[in-house]
Structure 1
């Protein structure tokens, strides 16, 4: 009877001693894994990085993060540790696209572009009517190729819109169209 009680106590102690090891090994992210969503109380910018195997994707950063931070994070995936990065510095904006391209044997050129309207709409990043191309305009509901062309011609002749509401100056766009597309141009209060 004493042996049985002793064995039970030893088994319980062994289980208690091993419990922290079991808990530590589950629930934590391993190297290279990432979380699906990041919620933060601070203002953030979403930057898409492409051209680096294993590091391409959308990075969510604090608004005051430097462009160098994104480059350093993404450059960890560059095959040569001593590679040179050619880049013109500047502040990041919500919806920027950083494209990494091999410029030489050990050089990477980084080009800053803007995500297409379709990607920005999916991520609820406000569109800028002064920088959109014809394909961007056509991705909006109620705007076809003809109207997109008229918008671009109007912008070319009369200058930037400065506000999407000034699109009403384009023939074929009225208050109904403005109401339909308003949600794609106005920033969300809460993300």
Structure 2
């Protein structure tokens, strides 16, 4: 059966709309099914004890956040980020054979003699929170505490004072002993440590 040209052109113009509507209906039908099983691919695999998240920036072709195996050395992680040049030596010496620590950021600078100079620092607290990396309550500074949800400058000062009065060390549970932190706020905060 042959359709007139004008009807054919109308059908072809409406075909994209029909396809979009069909995809929408299929999507709604899939979502409304009870007991459905959906596979979701996330940017990062679930963090386990055998993996850690680090950041690599600088003279690499693929800067970014990496979820690496606990068995990898620093040299392996840097190689994953594809250095812009062949590396012949490392500074500081021996850093390439250490295991990276979760939440660290590596800045790679390759000089003219092909030596990779690594600067290592911790990721900012706000980024560590987003990535689900636990914080160490004993290394946080004033500005780190202030960046936590529910902690303002006064409460951050109270926590730091409490920590100093107890030898510079505290356990997460000790937050309950800090003025201004009750059970409810403690429950909100403890998940970050």
Per-residue deviation at 1:44? 1.3
SS of equivalent to 1:155? helix
Q: Alignment RMSD, CA only?
A: 2.6
Query: Deviation per CA, 1:122-156, whole angstroms, max 9, x where unpaired?
Result: 11111111111222211111101121122223223
Distance 1:62 1:180 in 2: 29
Q: Find the counterpart in structure 1 of residue 145 from structure 2.
A: 137
Mapping for residues 112-151 of structure 1, pairs under 5 Å:
112-151=120-159
Asked if the contact 2:87–2:116 (Cα under 8 Å) also holds between the matched residues in 1, the reply is no
- Distance in 1 between residues matched to 2:181 and 2:102, nearest whole Å: 27
- Note the C-alpha offset of 1:38: 5.0
How many pairs are equivalent? 147
Question: CA, structure 1 residues 109+149, in 2 after alignment: closer, same or farther (shift >3 Å)?
Answer: farther
Residue correspondence of structure 1 range 149-160 to structure 2 within 5 A: 149-158=157-166, 159-160=168-169
Classify the secondary structure of the residue corresponding to 2:144.
Answer: helix
1:45: how far off?
1.0
Q: TM-score when scaled to structure 1?
A: 0.65
How far the C-alpha of 1:57 sits from its partner, in A, is: 0.4
1:81 alignment partner, one of 86, 90, 95: 86
Call closer, same or farther: CA 1:150–1:41 in 2, change over 3 Å.
Answer: closer
Structure 1 residues 10-25: aligned runs within 5 Å = none
Q: How does 1:152-171 map to 2 (within 5 A)?
A: 152-158=160-166, 159-161=168-170, 163-171=171-179
Q: For 1:111, which of 115, 119, 135 is the aligned residue? A: 119
Q: Which runs of 5+ in 2 are unaligned?
A: 1-40
- 2:189 is the alignment partner of 1:181: yes
With normalisation by structure 2, the TM-score equals: 0.65
SS in structure 2 of the partner of residue 58 of structure 1: strand
Aligned twin of 1:65:
72
Alpha-carbon distance in structure 1 between the residues aligned to 2:61 and 2:87: 18
- Cα distance change of structure 1 residues 55 and 146 upon mapping to structure 2, 3 Å threshold: same
Q: Label 1:69 to 1:164 Cα distance change in 2 as closer, same or farther (>3 A).
A: same
